């Protein structure tokens, strides 16, 4: 007897093959049968007439490392059909932790999206295994697929020291990396526009990638820049992957610079050339034309040397402020100059702050804040960083939709929200987050499949299921196939859509009929159940 039967739907299995009519039978946590199951008894049946039955969506790029620590039922992603979140992206994460540098890491997390939750951040673990065991003991709603952040490794070994590691420090980082992969990491991520990634050389990163090669890990990178120097940044990423002999995953591929808009063919040729040379390379992308970053990331990298406290001290020095103004305006090479690339402070608006005193600034552009306070935009930004101890997140407009569409259409493209799991209620309902936290998969399906015809239903589903599962090496995940784990989403192709906007982002998606995680119904008819059946998906 089956535990659950899904009948009358059209199955898109995640391989890219055409949809077909069929039923899906589930026993315990696995798919037990596919086909005409009218003669099979089941404890429960879901009628999926008029709907598509697909593998649960895998969000290839998230920052939900702490979301489920503070709310096991964080549900913004669940309402959009996600069943697995890949955490530890952009070089930063929450484990492993060295006691002597614990405060440095916690303070830094507060300046990044991952640590923007309005709570006192605590990391009740030391090793990577202890972090994963925390989820095993406190299962979340969704599955967690963990990457190891290179920045976390460097902070553990070197704090926020600038420059190349010496031989002993590099050996220490290699030991930390090896331990994390032995304990379950799926890949190594870098954030080379953030600290301490900006301090790291390609050679240093390649040495860590060599450590993970025996574990069949992948190299996921937020590249050195996505602006004018993007081609050189791609070359660096591919050189690291080629040197270490590991697959490369480029994070949230985009063109930020006003000088590069429309030049997608240059990027795609670089990637094709790498494929021809034998380097496995793919990428993830979010279907939006605005990005999100921390306000501190808009400053030159030297400002962070020594940690967050040193940054705050420096920002109170008028000579330092003058130097930052000059370096942003002149567009000095060697770092991701977000402000100049996007076209100025008028493109950046506050997503979230920590203090109640500045909550009224959420949703306002930096230029607006400057006008309200009688300051120029630079001083408004500097003063806000000081007041919030660096804990300010920003949305910014920089991309064009034609480029997004071109990148979406490529066969190696996958989908990642670049967002943390949030909620419309509770501790995770703070700020004015980027709408991608609530609508990435449903925006892809509603806007780019149904409305614009950029992708077929089968192509879109594959980019969120089979492709990422294969890239990550997830066993028996990502497909509707017998003996695979029953992570399944049922959606109405005529109704599925994102509702979240930049001005009103905390709105759940529509058209998702049910979400099943490891055989358990987590969401049905818009209502989340009490079940928390997520698991850690380590290699």
Identify the three-state secondary structure at position 276: helix
CA distance 242 to 135: 34
Question: What was the pLDDT predicted at 115?
Answer: 85
Q: What is the pLDDT along the chain (539 residues), one digit of tens a residue?
A: 999 999 999 999 999 999 999 999 999 999 999 999 999 999 999 999 999 999 999 999 999 999 999 999 989 999 999 999 999 999 999 999 999 999 999 999 988 888 889 999 999 999 999 999 999 999 999 999 999 999 999 999 999 888 899 999 999 999 999 999 999 999 999 999 998 999 999 999 999 999 999 999 999 999 999 988 999 999 999 999 999 999 999 999 999 888 889 999 999 999 999 999 999 999 999 999 998 888 988 898 888 888 888 999 999 999 999 999 999 988 776 678 888 888 889 989 898 888 899 999 998 999 999 999 999 999 999 999 999 998 898 888 889 999 999 999 999 999 999 999 999 999 999 989 999 999 999 999 999 999 999 999 999 999 999 999 999 999 999 999 999 999 999 999 999 999 999 989 999 999 999 999 999 999 999 889 889 999 999 97
Question: What was the pLDDT predicted at 259?
Answer: 86
11 membership: H or E segment, kind and range: strand 4-11
**What are the structure tokens assigned to 43, written together?**
């404890």
CA distance 337 to 344: 10
The 3-class secondary structure across 45-101, one letter per residue, is EEECCCCEEEECEEECCECCCCHHHHCCCCCCCHHHCEEEEEECCCCCCCCCCCHHH
**What is the Cα 35 distance to its own chain's centre?**
35
Question: What was the pLDDT predicted at 351?
Answer: 87
Question: What was the pLDDT predicted at 479?
Answer: 98
Question: What was the pLDDT predicted at 72?
Answer: 93
Residue for token pair 């006003």: 258
Q: The domain 4-55+478-528 is classified under which CATH number: 2.30.40.10, 1.10.150.130, 2.40.160.20, 1.20.1250.30?
A: 2.30.40.10
Q: Are 125 and 97 in contact (CB under 8 A)?
A: yes
Topology of the domain comprising 58-289+399-472: TIM Barrel (3.20.20)
How is residue 524 annotated by DSSP? Answer: E
Q: Are 286 and 347 in contact (CB under 8 A)?
A: no
Question: What was the pLDDT predicted at 256?
Answer: 86
Q: Are 434 and 292 in contact (CB under 8 A)?
A: yes
**What are the structure tokens assigned to 450, written together?**
């149904």
Domains of the chain, residue spans:
4-55+478-528, 58-289+399-472, 294-396
Q: Are 3 and 42 in contact (CB under 8 A)?
A: yes
What are the tens digits of pLDDT across the range 22-54?
999 999 999 999 999 999 999 999 999 999 999
Q: Which of 53, 43, 55, 49 is nearest to 5 (CA)?
A: 43
Global pTM? 0.95
Q: Are 224 and 336 in contact (CB under 8 A)?
A: yes
Q: Which of 251, 232, 268, 242 is nearest to 86 (CA)?
A: 251
Q: Which of 459, 534, 537, 521 is nearest to 489 (CA)?
A: 521
CA distance 226 to 233: 8
Q: Are 447 and 287 in contact (CB under 8 A)?
A: yes
CA distance 248 to 351: 31
What are the tens digits of pLDDT across the range 152-164?
999 999 998 888 9
């Amino acid at each position: 007897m089956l535990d659950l039967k899904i009948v009358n739907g059209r199955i898109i299995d995640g391989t890219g093959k055409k949809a077909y009519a069929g039923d899906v039978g589930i026993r315990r946590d696995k798919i037990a049968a596919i086909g005409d199951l009218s003669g099979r008894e089941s404890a429960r049946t879901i009628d999926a007439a008029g709907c598509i039955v697909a593998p649960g969506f895998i969000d290839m790029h998230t920052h939900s490392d702490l979301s489920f620590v503070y709310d096991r039922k964080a549900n913004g992603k669940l309402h959009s059909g996600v069943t697995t979140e890949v955490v530890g992206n952009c070089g930063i994460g929450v484990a492993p932790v060295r006691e002597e540098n614990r405060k440095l890491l916690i303070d830094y997390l507060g300046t990044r999206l991952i640590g923007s939750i309005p709570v006192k951040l605590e990391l009740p673990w030391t090793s990577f295994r202890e972090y994963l065991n925390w989820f095993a003991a406190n299962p979340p709603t969704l599955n967690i697929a963990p990457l190891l952040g290179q920045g976390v490794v460097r902070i553990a070994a070197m704090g926020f020291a600038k420059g190349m590691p010496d031989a002993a420090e590099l050996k220490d980082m290699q030991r930390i990396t090896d331990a994390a992969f032995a304990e379950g990491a799926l890949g190594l991520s870098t954030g080379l526009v953030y600290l301490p990634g900006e301090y790291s050389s390609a050679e240093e990163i390649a040495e860590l990638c060599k450590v993970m090669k025996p574990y069949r890990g992948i190299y996921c990178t937020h590249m050195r820049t996505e602006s004018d120097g993007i081609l050189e940044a791609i070359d660096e990423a591919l050189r690291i992957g080629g040197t270490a002999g590991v697959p490369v995953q480029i994070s949230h591929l985009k063109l930020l610079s006003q000088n590069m808009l429309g030049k997608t063919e240059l990027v795609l040729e670089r990637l094709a050339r790498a494929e021809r040379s034998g380097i496995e390379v793919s990428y993830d992308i979010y279907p939006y034309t605005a990005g999100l970053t921390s306000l501190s990331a808009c400053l030159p990298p030297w400002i962070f040397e020594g940690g967050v406290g040193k940054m705050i001290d420096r920002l109170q020095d008028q000579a330092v402020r003058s130097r930052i103004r000059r370096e942003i305006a002149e567009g000095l090479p060697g770092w991701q100059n977000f402000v100049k690339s996007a076209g100025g402070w008028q493109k950046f608006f506050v997503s979230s702050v920590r203090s109640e005193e500045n909550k009224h600034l959420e949703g306002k552009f930096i230029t607006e804040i400057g006008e309200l306070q009688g300051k120029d935009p630079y001083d408004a930004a500097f003063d806000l960083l000081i007041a919030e101890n660096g804990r300010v997140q920003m949305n910014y407009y920089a991309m064009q939709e034609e480029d997004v569409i071109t990148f979406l259409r490529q066969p190696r493209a996958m989908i990642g929200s670049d967002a943390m799991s949030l909620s419309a209620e509770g501790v995770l309902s703070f700020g004015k987050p980027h709408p991608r936290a609530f609508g990435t998969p449903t925006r892809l399906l509603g806007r780019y499949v149904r409305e614009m015809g950029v992708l077929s239903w089968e192509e879109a589903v594959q980019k969120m299921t089979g492709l990422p599962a294969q890239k990550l090496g997830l066993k028996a995940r990502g497909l509707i196939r017998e003996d695979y784990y029953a992570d399944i989403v049922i959606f109405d192709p005529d109704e599925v859509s994102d509702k979240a906007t930049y001005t009103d982002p905390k709105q759940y998606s529509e058209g998702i009929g049910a979400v099943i995680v490891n055989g358990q119904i987590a969401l049905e008819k818009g209502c989340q159940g009490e079940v928390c059946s997520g698991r850690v998906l380590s290699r």
